[in-house]
Amino acid sequence: MNRRVVITGMGWVTPLGTEIEAVWQRLLKGDSGINLITIFDARTYPTTFAAEVTDFNLRDFLGDHHAAHQTCSRNAGFALAAAEMAWRSAGFTNGSQVDPEMVGVYLGAGEGPIDFDNFAAAALAGWDPEERNLNTKRWAEVAYERLDAVREFEQDPNCAAGHIACRFNAQGPNLNTLTACAASTQALGEASRLIRRGDADVMISGGAHSMIHPLGVTGFNRLTALSERNDEFASASRPFDVTRDGFVLGEGAGILILEEYELAKQRGAKILAEIIGYGSTADAFRVTDMHEGGRGATAAMQAALADAGVEPSDIDYISAHGTSTEENDKIESLAIGQVFGERARNVPVSSVKSMFGHLIAGAGAVELITCVLAIRDGIIPPTTNYKHPDPNCPLDYVPNKPRQAMLKTVLSNSFGFGGQNDTIVVRAPEA
């Protein structure tokens, strides 16, 4: 069995907003979602800015009657809101349209922000400096007093998938992958395979993450992965530009409703695009570095093209992983060159991370939504802040302004810390 898989609904929560059309227009204008960090006091950090989601309240999506907004971690709330928007846009009005046991959830969702203050209070209370060890009795006393069981559980990456299953009575497969920056693209690819082989008819899939907290920012700073352009933060994300100095940490969620083609037709759903190919590989090199020859990225794109049954010449646009780090941008450009050969310089490539920042586990799903919108409107979103070409990045990056183009088949890349590489190919819906 190899059934067709189509996209019938989309929703997102991003640093540029939550409404699909409004955010899309902001992307085409080149707006930046990057500003100074407000979630915590980052004034003494090497990086003081990020792409935060602002003016977000889960009650606006679920209403006061729903209990989830009282317990959801930040990232799970993003995922649940995006799923609510996607489900509605897919036109599911009641449960009779599909067997709940054939509706599944597959997310690439990150861990929730840790309850640092109360965790630190318990740790400090239990520390005995004279004995140089942990007084477990005192630790337990303070931990039971300060740490809330539900909040601690909500840190687990699978909680977003659980909330979504409860909300939509999705009794089918329920899975979550946390393969860093490749997670939501991997989730979407694997979800499409579940539908293809008949294990589900509908999958609520995508990803969410929120790492704008002291541990997240400190960790990426220590890896020298974040931009430190504190005086020019709005334009700090500069994919493929020779002056780039690291990525900008973002947060948010993207959820897509994937559906078996015949079911979508039967219920009169509007088909937005079709997923026709997926490839997943590992660099098997280092957990913090891409293989310098781009072997994993190259293999993922080749596998996705083969799965789709298309040639490199059929691809009209590439949505790049494009993080704005020296390593990623150079190696992704190299890999595209290896897959597309002489045509590589003529295929438009762009990175919306120049405006969204890097949503980590949520990035791939949000970027796939931009691919669907680009196909729909015949326009490619730009790579903003691109002013100084890098000799190691010699491709057409659609600099600074959107570009009109007839788009039928589009390829989207996501590469993650740990060496994960995932590529999806989507095609315009049939007329």
> Which region, left, alpha or beta, applies to residue 268 given φ > 0 means left and ψ of -120 to 50 means alpha?
left
Residue 267 burial (CB < 10 Å; 0-12/13-18/19+)? middle
Structure tokens at 364: 């791939």
Verify whether residue 358 is a known catalytic residue.
yes
Task: Identify the active-site residue in 209, 213, 291, 358.
Answer: 358
Task: Identify the active-site residue in 181, 209, 291, 393.
Answer: 181
CA-based angle 56:60:63, to the nearest 5? 140
SS (H, E, C) 69-130: HHHCCHHHHHHHHHHHHHHHHCCCCCHHHCCHHHEEEEEEECCCCCCHHHHHHHHHHHEECC
Secondary structure (3-state) at 313? helix
Residues 319, 353 contacting (CB under 8 angstroms): no
- Which residue reads 């040639």 in tokens? 311
- Which residue reads 């993207």 in tokens? 254
Structure tokens at 254: 């993207």
Residue 266 burial (CB < 10 Å; 0-12/13-18/19+)? exposed
Query: Does the CA dihedral 397-402-406-407 come out positive or negative?
Result: positive
Q: C-alpha distances in angstroms, 50 versus 227, 262, 264, 329, 427?
A: 10, 43, 39, 20, 33
Verify whether residue 388 is a known catalytic residue.
no
Task: Identify the active-site residue in 209, 213, 291, 321.
Answer: 321
Tell me the catalytic residues: 181, 321, 358
